[in-house]
Chains A and B, each alone.
Chain A
């Protein structure tokens, strides 16, 4: 494609021009084989973004799972994504938690840091400030466990980088609405 970047495609929708936002979608599905593949296939097939995706069974007896997806796009694209998800037959309900009202998002991360001397002490001090737990230690390394909003985890990881960050494993976001009512 050699069209100048500024020129919109003649078929580009007038819809796609406002700001990109990040939304958290909570999707309740029948826990049946292939349902995750349907969801993921929808995103790849239609060119939508997945920033984070988590899935686990939430009601064992009823065979229900919750998929939490963090995605980015214009509000119009995100509305499309919700509607496209609703078309998938074994999906019960799609809620855009970002639109729905106040919601809580949490992620768990395990962060491995390697270092000695002053760096090691500093890593410990920061971990304390972030309320991270040490879940593995050697004389030259720590593994921290940290739960929080994704941006808090981002911050922690950035701080560990100069102190000997080795690797990070994150769960992706789980989310729920505030208040007494279900999503």
Chain B
């Protein structure tokens, strides 16, 4: 039904029609009409964050844990620029967001008005698409189109910049009814001929490996189910990127653990030595490939991706299949079954024998301690004590993030929210707020570092206001540990500005926010303390005092190949491992 209403009312109406029940935002002069419209309805819940970056990450957490589009609302100028980091984060990790920004009235655009900034200019390169709405007539179409563009194909953030006069103007609202974009119609079905070729390659493989990524998660739970089915049918080993964790259940024996810079020895060696790589929704990022000219030199490569530009971008592949993971996996499973394919059992057994010998190196091992809490041990205990609950994990960025990926084992998709592509410190707490809003009864834990957590610590107030019992589990090593580790490796142990000076007392900080604070430094007391955190009905800051000098291993040093990993039992000089060329890389 078309109805007459103001632009501000249209925005709320469109959110309703798009099934949005929760948005994250922060008010200001240029969005007051929209806030007024929000005030006068009770369908859309508004979560007041304490910084617009937090709104973006919260919307990301909401989106990633539900599979829906995340929505944020911010004012013009500083509101928009504060959101830029979160938009970029969502672009790099392909998270569907719609970000509504207020803008100065159209007649003031270009006059350097108060709180004016060129929002579409600034966000052009950090969004999938953006709009400046200059006429009320265009608003309903653009609102619906934005949701379509954000969610279709390779998902990403979309900005709608709406001048204040357009929010006040009256026009005709039209509901979404079969939105179709005239140019943007991504291909979801894979080319059947190519899928047949893929089955043939897979049937003939002697040393195959599945390499899966965040695309499988983005494709929806069905894609994960189909992936599991295909992996079981074929008997092939599977590894995944940081972004893909959870698509395949980690406790399964065919799972090799995460691959890449801090991935497992068996996963990286399997990638290096395989004769067939089946990449599904993964993008051959430099954290995954290591040295490109030595990347999996002897393999044929199949690459399934919804984004044609991902195929042959970093690594030339033999067979590129453009399509949505779930659709292509469905065809693969069907053809594999229909052809009653029997892979080379003897060759596969030998390959598994090789993989088991790599697995025996136990590359995530560490030296246990009775005196200090080892960060890996802390994550392991956290996993053991929470694995049978309805748990969601977010992280900040640094060593703790990698330890979380290595030692927390996911069995389902959408349970793991981390900033992979951009590596944004300060992501985890607001993301946890977003997750907890979507899953009020779940246990939501941000595995954090003491440095990262301070980047968006203000969101504690949001958590307390909305009674969100998020748990912040800080692996406090008093260092920007990942920076310290690189300084040890690359810069002669000169720890320039990587010590976390003048830290707050995190227990008192929790109390200051009206949350619950816990500190633990004794390995023997750790389980009890974690249980206290779980049992608390409040938001918790857990200051887990860990070994300050621990390095995150194993590691593919920059500029090296998959089969040149440093393992935890490495005892020569770490500083001598990386050559000058490697030092230039990030």
Contact = CB atoms under 8 A, between A and B. Distances in A.
Contact of A38 (B124, B183, B312): B124
B313 A80 contact: yes
Interface string A66-98: 000000000010011001101101111000000
A41 B581 CA distance: 30
Contacts of A30: 182-183
A156 B584 CA distance: 46
B286 A11 contact: yes
Contacts of B121: 37
Contacts of A9: 581, 584-585
A103 to B, nearest CB: 23
Interface in B26-63: none
Contact of A45 (B125, B132, B312, B585): B125
B580 A92 contact: no
B292 A41 contact: no
Contact of B132 (A10, A33, A90): A33
Given A7-B581, A30-B183, A38-B124, A14 B312 contact: no
Given A79-B312, A80-B309, A89 B149 contact: yes
A15 B584 contact: no
Interface string B557-586: 011100000000000000000001110110
A14 B580 contact: no
A34 interface: yes
Contact of A11 (B125, B291, B309, B312): B291
A89 B129 contact: yes
Nearest to A79: B312
B316 A76 contact: yes
Contacts of B582: 10
B199 interface: no
A59 interface: no
Nearest to A84: B309
A89 B309 contact: no
A121 to B, nearest CB: 52
Given A3-B584, A45-B125, A90-B183, A14 B309 contact: no
B293 interface: yes
B114 interface: no
Contacts of B184: 89
Contacts, number: 74
B293 A83 contact: no
Contacts of A89: 128-129, 149, 181, 183-184
Given A3-B580, A38-B124, A89-B149, A12 B183 contact: no
B315 interface: yes
Nearest to A42: B125
A83 B308 CA distance: 6
Bin the interface of chain A by size: 20 to 34
B197 interface: no
B200 interface: no
B536 interface: no
Interface string A1-23: 10100011111111100000000
Contact of A80 (B291, B292, B312): B312
A71 to B, nearest CB: 15
Contacts of A76: 312, 316
Interface residue SS majority, chain A: mixed
A3 B559 CA distance: 13
B313 A11 contact: no
Interface string B173-189: 00000000111100000
Contacts of A14: 292-293, 315-316
Contacts of B560: 10
B307 interface: yes
A80 B311 CA distance: 9
B580 A11 contact: no
B580 A91 contact: no
A38 B183 CA distance: 15
Interface string B305-341: 0011101111110000000000000000000000000
B132 to A, nearest CB: 7
Given A83-B308, A87-B307, A89-B149, A11 B292 contact: yes
Contacts of B292: 10-14
B322 to A, nearest CB: 10
Interface in B250-304: 286, 291-293
A34 B124 contact: yes
B203 interface: no
Contacts of A80: 309, 312-313
25 contacts: A3-B584, A8-B293, A9-B581, A9-B584, A9-B585, A10-B292, A10-B559, A10-B560, A10-B582, A11-B559, A11-B585, A12-B293, A13-B292, A14-B316, A34-B130, A38-B124, A41-B125, A45-B125, A80-B313, A86-B308, A87-B154, A89-B149, A89-B184, A90-B183, A92-B183
Given A13-B315, A80-B309, A90-B183, 19 more contacts: A1-B584, A9-B581, A10-B582, A11-B292, A14-B293, A14-B315, A15-B316, A33-B132, A34-B120, A34-B130, A34-B132, A41-B125, A45-B125, A83-B307, A83-B308, A86-B309, A87-B154, A89-B129, A89-B184
> Which 8 pairs between the two chains have the least Cβ-Cβ distance?
A83-B309, A10-B559, A89-B129, A10-B291, A83-B308, A89-B184, A92-B183, A84-B309
Interface of A: 1, 3, 7-15, 30, 33-34, 37-38, 41, 45, 76, 79-80, 83-84, 86-87, 89-92
Interface of B: 120-121, 124-125, 128-130, 132, 149, 154, 181-184, 286, 291-293, 307-309, 311-316, 558-560, 580-582, 584-585
